[in-house]
Structure 1
Amino acid sequence: MRARRFVSVLLSAAIALSLWGATVSLAAENPSGTAAAVTQTAPVNDLTAAKNAIHQTLTNMDASVSLSQYNLTEQQFSDLYDEVLREDPWLFYVEGCTYHASKAGIVVDMIPRNTYDKETVQKMTEELKKSMQAALSCIEPNMTATEKVVQVHNYLALTCAYDYDNYQTNSIPKDSYTAYGALVKRVAVCQGYSLAFELLMQQLGIPCAIVESDSMNHAWNAVQLDGSWYHVDVTWDDAAPDQPGQYSVDMLLTSDAKASNSENQHKDWTNLPEPAYSTILDNRDWKQFISQMETKYRSNTSLLVDTASYTCKKGATYVFKVQVSPGQIVVARPTDRTVARVELVSAEAGGTYYFRLEGLKAGSTNIEVIAESGKTVKFPLTVQGALYECDTSGRLTLQPGQTYYFKMTYTNPGALILPSVTTGNGAISVKLAKTQGNYAIYAVSAAANAAGQQTYVYATYGGGAPAPQFSVQVAS
């Protein structure tokens, strides 16, 4: 079944003020409590300056920004905020904002709200850069612009899975709406696919935009080639539930006419820079085109994996190496996603990939490694027991100055558990309180001036990847 039947709930879930992020909400506050009466609008030059101010504030993760000097109406502010998030895939951490409006309906300031703190965002940004470089390692320097678009389309369709399980349970996490989710976590909905595609096009210097349809509850891309705009919808061309190694080309570089035909059914779109009138690529045999690209750039295909089988504990991580012919796209994933997780660590131009797998629960599965050519290698994975268990989960609320004790039980006393917090300002801290036998007691404390702070407590076992245990919220 195609992903088109299971597009993101993003657009319908967002309030009218912003289309970007199901968890994004902008709340207007009118200090006077009276109805706003719009009397004037901002000129174009002020709109440009205001957009730059909004963008800079979100990029710097500033606490707030004054906007009164730009004379923005609430609708103008909404449109600018929407444009900034739609045009900058690096703002994956922005969760929303609050603004204040005057009696005349003029926006006076913006107070951003971010999902993560600066330290976490820095780490995630580095992960996104590495994943972006991995995607671009499949681009040959002498490829045409059309070949680059096709290659990026194929890369995302092969390496990213539609977040089908969370879609079914209406529990799509914030990351799935971002380029980070699509390129790093390899799971996304239409917004994540679109932002990741846009990010890669920006790096390649190919004009790209994100197109939206409220009636379809969907988002996709448009690219400009030789002066003409075309639709590209990777989500539409990826299967849901995911089918490793398979994708279609129904919405690859299409005109308006083909995008809206009875097969593709796209309609009521906005934000397309210019109409996609050109039909010159509508009848292109893309499968033959891709086959010719394979012959042209990858005439000799090989695929080697340095691991024949692996056994680990729940919570343990392991890095394995894949060597493939240069330029090949490689996918690695478990056949049972509940038993293990596989993430790309790095990719080198010579065809060397490193993947990290993590045991999630006791059980067995196969790790599939699939090259773009279709060549596949599998190795069995067995996950045994738990490395550790934490007696606290979910969300913990503390009062300023309060300390809470939690217990970590682990199977190997010789391997050290290192709980840590994501905040770097010391407002919330974790310290060892007691060790005995195979467990340790830790104290998580909120400083007296930590009102309103929030973070996550992570546990690192024996040098493995940090795993979130629970969130901490300090009451205001």
Structure 2
Amino acid sequence: MKKLLLCGAALLILSPTAVYAKQTENTSQIYPMVANSTVVNWDQLTEELAKQIQNFETDIKITYTGKIGDLKKEMMDALEKAKQQAVYASGHIESTMVSADSLGNVTYKMKYLTSQTQEVAVQKKINLILKNIIKPSMTDFQKVKAINDYIVSNTMYGTKTKASPHSAYALFFEGQAVCQGYALAAHAMLEQSGIETKYVVGFVNGNEAHAWNLVKVDGKWYHLDTTWNDPLPNRVGAASYDYFLVSDNQISKDHTWIKGNYPPATSTKYSYLLNVHFAHQLNNIVYFSNTADNDKLYKLDMTSGSKSKVLDKRALYITGTNQNLYYSDYSNGGYLTKLDLKTLKAEVLVKQPVTNLKVSDNYLMYNVQTKEHKLKIN
């Protein structure tokens, strides 16, 4: 099931209007600010405004001493350009009020989905996550995959948050958000990992407002929708790659956007990742449920992109360690099963339907109905 709930509400709030503007875009670092700055041209005003938006300032006052033409138009043009420079932060803007006096004192009153304190916490959280999942030797592809996998594996789609569910803060600290929170979080993580990225606003299934990302990998643009790579309802270990590094043609089957506002994504290099669900990677091999073959257990060689069937069994909730895979065998009642990857010998460990498998500290964690159990593994 795709993620639709409440994405539209925030994204409509974030569409630009006239003097009382409400925004869409985003960024990540927080800078020390100079209050009541004086600028001599509109380019300087735009740059200063972008810095203060990036710092999540709520009451931005700038004195403009240059030539004044159409003041209203110039102020709004500066705002739109500043948003493009401060993408992450402007993606969190809920509303903006703009005013000016005859002396050139321009004021932008901003209301954000989060606070400066929350965004400082977000930055610390991102730094910690990236330190753990991103290594200097990684390729761009590996970095994007690591970020996608982290978001999908550690969060869920939902609105039961104290913070705005449209924010990256909610996703990082409450473990759930809607599409806007997913896309903003991904944008910040990608950008800080050195990946060029765009925050995309569009629609899904015709008229449901939605947000996702474009990323540049090895010089080519691809779409990345972390929200739609995360199943609804949430299922631990159920990451998919149907919306991972896909082309315009592929994603346009159910996504629409103003294509002229974004770079084209024409490459199909990573199309071999389609139909990959419940993926678990051991070394350079990804074991997964192939949705194109009734969730049968397959493997994908990440070097060649070739897929092959491992077992003629429906395997879900796949996890593993060393030479063993663990999964729910839906060809056999959903029983917990271990597969020796060297011998391909399968062994039933629990004769009950199990879900939400994961390995933690030499234990295999799993659920029987809603109760969590654990099993010691070597």
Amino acid at match of 1:280: K
SS of equivalent to 1:64: strand
CA offsets 1:397-444 (integer angstroms, 9 cap, x no match): xxxxxxxxxxxxxxxxxxxxxxxxxxxxxxxxxxxxxxxxxxxxxxxx
- Are positions 1:66 and 2:58 aligned together? no
**Contact kept in structure 1, 2:95 and 2:111, CA below 8 Å:** yes
Counterpart residue type for residue 134 of structure 1:
I
What's 2:303 paired with? none
SS in structure 1 of the partner of residue 143 of structure 2 = helix
How far, CA to CA, are the matches of 1:257 and 1:298 in structure 2? 25
* 1-structure distance, mates of 2:190, 2:260: 17
CA distances 1:236-276 after superposition (whole Å, capped 9, x unpaired): 12122322221221110011111112xxx111235854111
CA distance in 1, matches of 2:366, 2:245: 32
Cα–Cα, structure 1 residues 135 and 241, in superposed 2: closer, same or farther, change >3 Å?
farther
Query: CA deviation digits over 1:62-100, x for unaligned, max 9?
Result: 6332264575535414423543553448x85x5543211
Q: Identify if the C-alpha distance between structure 1 residues 274 and 83 changes in structure 2 by more than 3 Å, giving closer, same or farther.
A: same
Structure 1 residue 290: Cα displacement:
6.0
Structure 1, residues 95-146: CA drift from partner, whole Å, max 9, x if none? 543211579xx993213345676xxx34651354135412541234432211
> 244, 251, 257: which one pairs with 1:259?
251
Task: Assess if the C-alpha contact under 8 Å between 2:157 and 2:232 holds in 1.
Answer: yes
Question: SS of the residue aligned with 2:249?
Answer: helix
**Partners in 2 of 1:136 and 1:286 — Cα distance?**
30
- The answer to whether the Cα contact below 8 Å between 1:68 and 1:109 also exists between their aligned partners in 2 is no
TM-score, normalization by structure 1? 0.49
2:283 alignment partner, SS class: helix
Alignment of 1:234-245 (within 5 A): 234-245=226-237
Match of 1:153 in 2: 148
- CA distance in 2 between counterparts of 1:5 and 1:74 reads 34
Q: Structure 1: which 5+ runs fail to align?
A: 22-44, 167-171, 300-323, 327-367, 382-476
For 1:156, give the aligned amino acid.
I
Structure 1 partner of 2:22: 18
Q: Which position in structure 1 is the counterpart of 2:198?
A: 209
Q: CA deviation at 1:2?
A: 2.3
Equivalent position SS for 2:133:
coil
Match 1:250 to one of 230, 234, 242: 242
Cα RMSD (Å): 4.2
Q: Quick one: which amino acid aligns to residue 155 of structure 1?
A: Y
Query: Which residue is 2:165 aligned to?
Result: 176
Partner AA of 1:187 in structure 2:
Q
Q: What is the deviation of 1:154?
A: 1.5
**Per the alignment, in what secondary structure is the counterpart of residue 158 of structure 1?**
helix
Report percent identity of matched pairs.
Answer: 21
Letter of the 1:147 partner, please give it: Q
TM-score, structure 2 normalization: 0.60
CA contact (8 A) 1:208 1:223 kept: yes
| CA 1:253–1:86: 2 relative to 1, 3 Å | same
User: Structure 2 matches for 1:209-358, cutoff 5 A?
Assistant: 209-213=198-202, 215-261=207-253, 265-269=254-258, 273-284=262-273, 287=276, 291=280, 293-296=281-284
Q: Could you give the per-residue CA deviations for residues 339-395 of structure 1, whole angstroms, max 9, x where no partner exists?
A: xxxxxxxxxxxxxxxxxxxxxxxxxxxxx88459995357979xxxxxxxxxxxxxx
Whether the aligned pair in 2 keeps the contact of 1:10 and 1:20 (CA below 8 Å) is no
**Paired AA for residue 50 in structure 1:** L
- Aligned partners of 1:67 and 1:374: how far apart in 2? 62
Report the equivalent of 2:139: 144
The 1:8/1:154 distance shift into structure 2, 3 A limit, reads farther
The 1:224/1:260 distance shift into structure 2, 3 A limit, reads same
Alignment map for 1:128-143 (pairs within 5 Å): 128-143=123-138
Distance 2:56 2:274 in 1: 45
SS in 2 for 1:222: strand
Structure 1: distance between partners of 2:261 and 2:359: 34
Letter in 2 for 1:282: S
Say which of 173, 176, 181 aligns to 1:187. Answer: 176
- SS of the equivalent of 2:227 reads helix
Distance 1:254 1:297, change over 3 A: closer
- Give the counterpart letter for 2:233 in structure 1: P
Aligned position for 2:313:
none
Residue by residue over 1:16-41, the C-alpha shift from the partner in whole angstroms, topping out at 9 and shown as x without a partner, is 333339xxxxxxxxxxxxxxxxxxxx
8 Å Cα contact 2:7/2:209 also seen in 1:
yes
Equivalent pairs, count: 276
**Secondary structure of residue in 1 paired with 2:59:** coil
Read off the aligned partner of 2:242 and give its amino acid letter: D
User: What one-letter code is carried by the residue in structure 1 that aligns with 2:44?
Assistant: A
Matched position secondary structure for 1:153: helix
